[in-house]
Chain A
Amino acid sequence: MMRILLLFFLSVILPVAAVPDPDALKEAIKKNGGQIFSTNGTDCQVEFHLTGRRLDDGGLVTVGELKDTVILNLRDTGITDAGLAHLKGLNKLRRLHLERTAVGDEGIAHLSNLHGLEYLNLYSSKITDKALDHLAGLKNLRQLFVWQTGVTEEGVAKLQKALPTLRIIRGVDLDKVAAEAAKPKEEPKPLEVLTWMAIDGSPLPKSNSGDFLLLHLENQSGKKVKLYWVNYGGGLQFYADIAAGDTREQTTYTGATWLIADADDNHLGYFRTKQKNAKAVIPKVTN
Chain B
Amino acid sequence: MVNHLQHTRRDFLRSGVAMAGLSLPSFFSMLSHARSAAPKARSCIVLYTWGGMSHYESFDPKPDAPSDLRGEFKPIPTATPGIQFCEYLPMLAKHSEKLAIVRSIHHKHGGHQQGMYISLTGHDPAGGLTAKKRENWPSLTAMISRFQDSQSGTPRAIRMPYSMYDNGKLMAGEYGGWLGSKYDPVLMKTPAGEPYRGVTRYTDRELNLKLNLEKQRISDRQGLLEELDSTLGQKSGTDLVYDQLDHYRRMAADMLLGSPVRDAYDLDKEDPRVRAMYGDHICGQSLLLSRRLVEAGVPVVQALCSAGDLAGGGGDNWDTHRGHFPKMKDRLLPVFDRSVSALLTDLEQRGMLDETLVVFLTDFGRTPKINKNGGRDHHPGVYSVALAGGGIRGGQVYGSSDSRGAEPGSDACSPADFHATIYQAMGIDHRAELHDQEGRPLRICDGEPLPLF
Contacts and interface: CB of A to CB of B under 8 A. Distances in A.
B370 A50 contact: no
B326 A123 contact: no
B351 A251 contact: no
Contact of A145 (B280, B296, B351): B351
Contacts of B329: 188
A51 B330 contact: no
B349 A147 contact: yes
Interface stretch (B64-72, B174-182, B184-192, B225-233): B64-72
A275 interface: no
Contacts of A226: none
B351 A172 contact: no
Contact of A251 (B272, B277, B371): B371
A99 B350 contact: yes
B349 A123 contact: yes
A178 B372 contact: no
B351 A50 contact: no
Contacts of A11: none
Contacts, number: 90
B390 to A, nearest CB: 14
A40 B277 CA distance: 40
Interface string A222-250: 00000000000000000110000000111
Contacts of A240: 372
A9 B39 CA distance: 45
A175 B276 CA distance: 10
Interface in B339-357: 345, 348-351, 354
A174 B273 contact: yes
Given A182-B276, A249-B322, A145 B349 contact: yes
Interface in A157-182: 169-172, 174-175, 177-178, 181-182
B21 to A, nearest CB: 22
Given A171-B349, A212-B370, A249-B373, A181 B277 contact: yes
B350 A178 contact: no
B63 interface: no
A178 B272 contact: yes
B381 interface: no
B409 to A, nearest CB: 23
B276 A177 contact: yes
A251 B274 contact: no
B277 A169 contact: no
A271 interface: no
Given A51-B151, A51-B152, A249-B373, A123 B276 contact: no
Contacts of B349: 123, 145, 147, 169-172
Interface in A92-109: 97, 99
A273 to B, nearest CB: 13
Interface string A11-36: 00000000000000000000000010
A172 B271 CA distance: 13
A211 interface: yes
A174 B276 CA distance: 9
A258 interface: no
B258 interface: no
A50 B325 contact: no
Among B274, B326, B372, B374: residue with most chain A CB under 10 A:
B374
B260 interface: yes
A79 to B, nearest CB: 17
B152 A251 contact: no
B288 to A, nearest CB: 13
A214 B348 contact: no
B374 A251 contact: yes
A213 interface: yes
A248 B374 CA distance: 9
B67 A211 contact: yes
B98 to A, nearest CB: 12
Given A177-B277, A181-B279, A212 B71 contact: yes
Given A39-B39, A50-B260, A249-B374, 6 more contacts: A35-B151, A50-B151, A171-B348, A174-B274, A181-B276, A251-B371
Closest 9 CB pairs of A and B: A171-B349, A174-B273, A178-B273, A50-B152, A249-B374, A181-B276, A121-B351, A249-B323, A145-B351
19 contacts: A39-B38, A47-B151, A99-B350, A119-B354, A121-B351, A123-B350, A145-B349, A147-B349, A171-B345, A172-B349, A174-B274, A174-B277, A175-B273, A188-B329, A212-B70, A214-B326, A249-B374, A251-B370, A251-B371
Interface of A: 35, 39-40, 47, 50-51, 97, 99, 119, 121, 123, 143, 145, 147, 169-172, 174-175, 177-178, 181-182, 188, 211-214, 239-240, 248-251, 253, 277
